[in-house]
Every structure is written in C-alpha cells, then in structure tokens.
Structure 1
C-alpha cells in the first residue's frame, strides 16, 4: 500500500464512530487472525474497498486508536491504520 493510499484510507475512517475494543488478547498485526470471540465486524466504507484492490470485501474493527482492516472469511488482518484526530 502506498503512502497516498494509506492517507486516503485514514481519511475514510476519520468520521466513523464505533466503540473501540480496549482489552484484546490477540496480536494486532498484519497476518494475525481476529478470534471468533470478537463478534462485531463493521463494513468498510465503499471507497476503502476501491483503494484496497484485490480485497473484494473488507470488514474492520477499532482497537484502541487503530483501525484494523480484515478479510471477513478468514478474519485475517490485512492492514492496521493509526487513527488520528
């Protein structure tokens, strides 16, 4: 992912208002899997799916101050974006 794509994705998530998870017992890193105990996955904004080509569908969760984007079938983390502002 280019820095421009990362900036566009960060902007896309600036206005989302979801309850962040604060007590997680899994690794928040690319390639890790979000466990089934995390039951609420949110739909990514449409433009995020356009930016992340090769990912036909994406979901996300917010962990503390990070937006965690994952592939819903495998629940594998594909990218982690720091939330600012």
Structure 2
C-alpha cells in the first residue's frame, strides 16, 4: 500500500464509528490470523474497497487506535493503519 493510499484509507475511515476491540490476545501485525473469538468483522466502506482494488473482500476491526484490515476467507491481517482523530 502506498503512502497516498494509506492517507486515502485513513480519510475514508475517519467518519466510521465502530467500537474498538481493546482486549486482544493476538499480535496486530500483517499476516497474523485474527482468531475466531473476534466474532465481528465489519464491512469496509465502499471508498476503501475502491482504494484497495485487488482485495476481493474487505473486512476490518478497530483495535485500540488502529484500523486492522482483514481478508475474511483466511482472517489474515492485510494492513494496519493508525487511526487519527
């Protein structure tokens, strides 16, 4: 993901209100599989799907102050973005 895409994705998520997950038992890093104990993966906003073309499905969770984008069929983390604002 380019820095421009990262900025666009951050902007697209700026108006999204999702309750953050604060008690996680997994490392928030690209490639980590999100355990099934995390039951809700939210659908990414349309703008994010457009920016991340090539990712057939886009789901996410918010962990503390980070937006964690997950590939739903494998539950692998594909990118982590610091949430601002």
Could you tell me which runs of 5 or more consecutive residues in structure 2 were left unpaired when the two chains were aligned. none
May I ask how many residue pairs the two structures share in their alignment? 85
What TM-score comes out, normalization by structure 1 length?
Answer: 0.97
Where does 1:6-25 land on structure 2 (aligned, <5 Å)? Answer: 6-25=6-25
TM-score (norm 2): 0.97
Q: Give the Cα separation in 2 of the matches to 1:65 and 1:39.
A: 19
Q: Relative to structure 2, which stretch is displaced further, 50-59 or 28-37?
A: 50-59
Per-residue Cα deviation, 1:32-79 (whole angstroms, up to 9, x for no partner)? 010000001100001111111210111000000000000000000000
CA–CA distance in structure 2, aligned partners of residues 13 and 50 of structure 1: 13
CA RMSD of aligned residues (A): 0.6
Partner of 1:49: 49
Q: Which runs of 4+ in 1 moved over 6 A?
A: none
Which stretch has the larger CA shift, 58-67 or 45-54? 45-54
Give the aligned partner of residue 71 of structure 1.
Answer: 71
Find the aligned partners of 1:43 and 1:19 in 2 and give their Cα distance: 14
